[in-house]
Chains A and B, each alone.
Chain A
Amino acid sequence: KTKQKSITSFFTRK
């Protein structure tokens, strides 16, 4: 089973 990651877990908030 795959889980959708959030884009915010890869890119940091400025």
Chain B
Amino acid sequence: MFEARLLQGSLLKKVMEALKELLNEAAWDCSDAGIQLQAMDNSHVSLVSLNLRAEGFDKYRCDRNLSMGMNLGSMSKILKCASNEDIITIKAQDNADTVTFVFESPDQDKVSDYEMKLMNLDQEHLGIPETDYACTIRLPSSEFARICRDLSQFGESMVISCTKEGVRFSATGDIGTGNIKLAQSAKVDKEEEAVVIEMQEPVSLTFACRYLNSFTKATSLSKSVQLSMSPEVPLVVEYKIEDIGHVRYYLAPKIED
């Protein structure tokens, strides 16, 4: 028996938004530690890793590990039937071929349940090596979304360059060049509005704008986002999900041919 009840159901709705543009289907791996999902996009350029800890749920029960293959388009349709205020419970029997989503209104006067067929997915998990990144940049998530949107107009690729002074995002294309420089915040009233840079060595890498824009679908999950970079390895874009977990996106760089 698997059962996970989330008081703040809107978080699951937001998680869905953060996944569905990149992934058509994915396996939700459930254990007593919580729910994890790891999947590559169709082109195998990026990897999404979601972690929702058991402690973050109001009620969590997982008698035996199970992997639920879900069509994210279908799951998204179902989650659209939940109100933002609803409490959401995900339920499945052991070895079941369906999963049930239960939505309760806050005052319990409306309860809906939706059963969805599970899929058999050929799972391919990748081992992500522990990396000490040369640069980590924390910035407001809305700012990052704005930068990705603005620079996408100029070209397919964006260069992210980080030095001690700040971080520069650049894109070049037929109409010209765009450069956005963000300095490390000197003094901030609110932690989540800060730009904070930790740097061991300067790094400059090129990434496809298309994927970065897809990652920013997670913006509503967190006020800030963390970018981690090292020379010639994938970028990590991490959004924390309140007290329950995180979604991380890994994006392979573009390298000089």
Contact = CB atoms under 8 A, between A and B. Distances in A.
18 contacts: A1-B257, A2-B257, A3-B257, A4-B45, A4-B208, A4-B254, A5-B45, A5-B252, A7-B250, A8-B40, A8-B44, A8-B126, A11-B127, A11-B234, A11-B250, A12-B126, A13-B124, A14-B126
B233 A3 contact: no
A10 B234 CA distance: 7
Contacts of B234: 7, 10-11
A12 B126 CA distance: 5
Nearest to B123: A14
Contact of A7 (B47, B129, B256, B257): B47
Interface residues of B, number: 24
Interface of B: 40, 44-47, 124-129, 157, 206, 208, 233-234, 250-257
Interface band, chain A: 10 to 19
Given A2-B254, A2-B255, A2-B256, A7 B125 contact: no
Contacts of A8: 40, 44, 126
Interface of A: 1-14
Given A13-B124, A14-B125, A3 B252 contact: no
B252 A7 contact: yes
